[in-house]
A and B are shown apart, each in its own frame.
Chain A
Amino acid sequence: MEIRPIFASLRKHRIPACLIVLEIALACAVLCNAVFMISQRVSDIHLGNAIDEQGTATVVLRGTDDKLVGSDIPRNLAALRGIAGVQAVAVTSTLPLSHNNWGWSFGLDPDATISDQKSHNVSLYFVGEGADQALGLRLLQGRFFNGDEYAGSKFDTAPLPETHVVVITQSLAKKLWPGQSALGKTLYSMPHYYAVIGVVADVLRPAIGTHSGPYTYDSTYYPISAGGSKGVLAYYVIRSAPQDRERILREAEQKLASLNPGAVTKAQTYSDIREKYFADMSSMAWMLVLVCVVMLAVTAFGIVGLTSFWVGQRRRQIGIRRAVGATRGHIMQYFQTENLLLTSVGVVVGMALAFGINLYLMQHYEMSRMPWYYLPGGALALWLLGQASVFGPAQKAASVPPVVATRSV
């Protein structure tokens, strides 16, 4: 295939050629960044969470008398255990992705305080007896709390429990003590300190910010007795087989409401909590998908329009070429190659532009660096789009009969 005639002809149509290049470049830049944003959100929506998401449900009970929780909580739990099909129940202060986040900063030195620059911020989960079973936490090292540790832990005036044991997630253990076992190590925030007795598989924090990051799994668990919980143990977590969950949740809410007149209940399955947390993110992702599709369609129609115009303008030249021996295939090839050349220039400019936009977004927004393969990916998409949209007009060009050359108009 001879390329030189194509260049010669493009030189004569500089403005339309530049427009196609510009359109391809812009589309490529927007496409790469939009697809990257979509993929970030999709991966956030599917973040792992080592609890039994399908089998757990929760009733949040608020407005009870803090002074009576010592007897209320065991009574409520016993009533919930009586529901047919319930596998485990427990009370906790919050759940992953519930938005109800208590954070605290701990250091690794005995004199560390909450405001130290090098302290690590973590989320606090206060849990009552049996929470590991009810949530389906996966213990990787050490052990979970024993009965004495639950019974002996209470809140005094600080929002940290008066106990000295903690269970942390695997990610946090690796981050705080890289290359060592976390068991037996201590977290400090004067005057409180907690020894790590167990490590569980990664559980999400109650709130992970707008995007996942290195802190997404920084969760810690503390035992707390019902009597010393000062009303923080508001989440009744109920575990069952997934198919029983809806029925059990309804029964559980009714039971809790009738046992605690005047209190406010709110029942949710864990799947609902998760879906609600990510609802905004997924609608943003769908909007991005919509914009990308429409933009590609507009670009494709633009290419079709401009190429058709060119074909119309060059009917005579095409006829002459056909008359002097060019096959239909040659004519098709000519327009396809021309499009390939223009698209190639467009995607090179577009990739540079995409990279620049990504750098700008990284500076001004919570955005990470776009992996390199997005650039060739976007380029490939536009090459295919260009070839697909030029096919129709090229075929029309190839069907110009040689006899056109002999007509004067």
Chain B
Amino acid sequence: MFAYYLDLALHSLARNKALTALMVLAIALGIGASMTTLTVLHVLSGDPLPGKSAQLYYPQIDPQDIKGMMPSKEPPEQVTLIDGLNLLHAARADRQALMSGGSAPLDPEKANVDPFYVETRYTTTDFFPMFDAPFLFGHAWTAADDEAKAREVVIARALNDKLFGGANSVGRTLRMAGVDWRVVGVLDKWQPNPHFYDLNTGSYAYGEQVFLPLQTMLELGLDRNGSTDCWGNGGGGVGSILPSDTCVWLQFWAQLDSPAKAAAYKEFLVHYSQDQKALGRFQRAPNVRLRNVMQWLDYQMVVPDDVRLQNGLAFGFLLVCLVNTVGLMLAKFMRRAGELGVRRALGASRRALFTQLLIESGVIGLVGGIGGLLLALFGLWLVRQRPSAYAALAHLDLSMLFITFVLALCATVLAGLLPAWRACQIAPALQLKSN
């Protein structure tokens, strides 16, 4: 029966090519536009470290002075150097890392390559295992290196290719910011998107080329990038001078393997705040937050407004296309009232007619879906030509491919429901008579 209805549907669609083409085109345009923006949204709101992100937490504490306090306001989004080091040394989490970002001039000491700037991350040893950063060669520096302010670096694969031609460069020397550094490790390709651990340096498609111990950076006073927030008489630091004690400018991350540990860690943050208040360093009542990666990204509203607006707009457009298709399908089905009347008179049930018409709309949906998929691929290509940082990430994955077809089929069958129902209400006798 299905094959027969399919045959009927194809016949009917072929009979009025312009109308069929119009319906398919409307569906394809709507699906294409909405799938393009939905894919971008899907990519941008993705999990940067699947499987791991639920155990990574971003503790926030409130060291600000009492001036300008507003009840129930969020604590600062970063930590001061003192608090960061305190939390790091307390070592209450399974793993923890303190970090900040910056950049430094790198002198390749090759005649044919001009000096260039590299993005740097100043952090502590746990950074690598905590964030599942894969090593191609060598390993991270050790906790002892952290304290010894070692002049050691871990470099990214791209930089290793550029400087050392992709060879194992562990043990080789790098001249950066006027200082010699020993390479201890080379990371394989690694770029979590969004750049969740520090959103101040750019949220997407941002990756550091050089990682080095935070303590070494503090000693040398290397350039910092990112955000510094101060209060009281705090100063943000200038040149090689670090921000004062009343400024937050570092990120602190903790790995907590179970919810119970997370709850205990939150307790610890409250106690820490109370202790600091007793010491006179903190002035406010304990005000702590402990968000995991996805909660933190959500709180930071990392997906650009424009992307969500575009998505809303595209679905508005899809709705217009669907209403349009409903109208056209209604016109098409009603025009065939005579034919349907004959079928009814010959004994076809309403249900049979209904199924037949729905299959017809399903065919339109399927063809429209294929067209929409092609348009979405073209749309994503267009997005990739755009200058935004996230543009390069816009690729269709399997799940989105599946969603495209489901969306196209559901949308058209849904659009076919009303016209099919309306067409089945035909009184066969009346139709036969008028013919």
Contact = CB atoms under 8 A, between A and B. Distances in A.
Interface string A306-332: 101100110000000000000000000
B418 interface: yes
Contacts of A157: 235, 237-238, 241, 244
A230 B241 CA distance: 9
A114 B422 contact: no
Interface stretch (A23-31, A84-92, A128-136): A23-31
A366 interface: yes
Q: How large is the interface on A (under 10, 10 to 19, 20 to 34, 35 or more residues)?
A: 35 or more
B323 A23 contact: yes
A1 interface: no
Q: Which of A309, A366, A409 has the most CB of B within 10 A?
A: A309
Contact of B319 (A15, A26, A313): A26
Interface stretch (A72-80, A168-176, A279-287): A279-287
Contact of A115 (B65, B117, B306): B65
A184 interface: no
A264 B235 CA distance: 28
Contacts of B178: 65, 262
B232 A113 contact: yes
Interface stretch (B310-318, B342-350, B392-400): B310-318
B333 to A, nearest CB: 10
Contacts of B51: none
Interface stretch (A143-151, A194-202, A294-302): A294-302
A30 B114 contact: no
B230 A114 contact: yes
Interface stretch (B88-96, B273-281, B324-332): B324-332
A102 B178 CA distance: 26
A159 interface: yes
Interface string A114-137: 111100000000000000000000
Given A19-B330, A114-B230, A30 B320 contact: yes
Interface in B37-82: 64-65, 67-68, 70
Contacts, number: 163
Contact of A22 (B117, B305, B317, B323): B323
A142 interface: no
B82 to A, nearest CB: 17
A283 B33 contact: no
Interface residues of B, number: 63
A191 B233 contact: yes
A114 B418 contact: no
A264 to B, nearest CB: 5
A142 B327 CA distance: 68
Given A22-B323, A62-B117, A263-B115, A113 B387 contact: no
A190 B233 contact: yes
Interface string A4-31: 0000000000011001101100110110
B316 A294 contact: no
Contact of A302 (B26, B230, B233, B234): B26
A158 interface: yes
A361 B310 CA distance: 12
B384 to A, nearest CB: 12
B210 interface: no
B110 to A, nearest CB: 13
Given A113-B233, A291-B317, A305-B22, A298 B105 contact: no
A373 interface: no
Contact of B388 (A257, A280, A295): A280
Interface of A: 15-16, 19-20, 22-23, 26-27, 29-30, 33-34, 37, 62-63, 65-66, 102, 113-117, 155, 157-160, 190-191, 210, 230-232, 257, 262-264, 276, 279-280, 283-284, 287-288, 291, 294-295, 298-299, 301-302, 305-306, 308-309, 312-313, 361, 365-366, 409
28 contacts: A19-B323, A23-B320, A26-B323, A30-B316, A63-B105, A63-B115, A102-B236, A115-B64, A117-B68, A158-B236, A159-B236, A190-B233, A230-B240, A231-B239, A232-B239, A262-B105, A263-B115, A264-B117, A280-B388, A291-B33, A291-B314, A298-B26, A298-B30, A298-B324, A301-B26, A305-B22, A305-B331, A313-B335
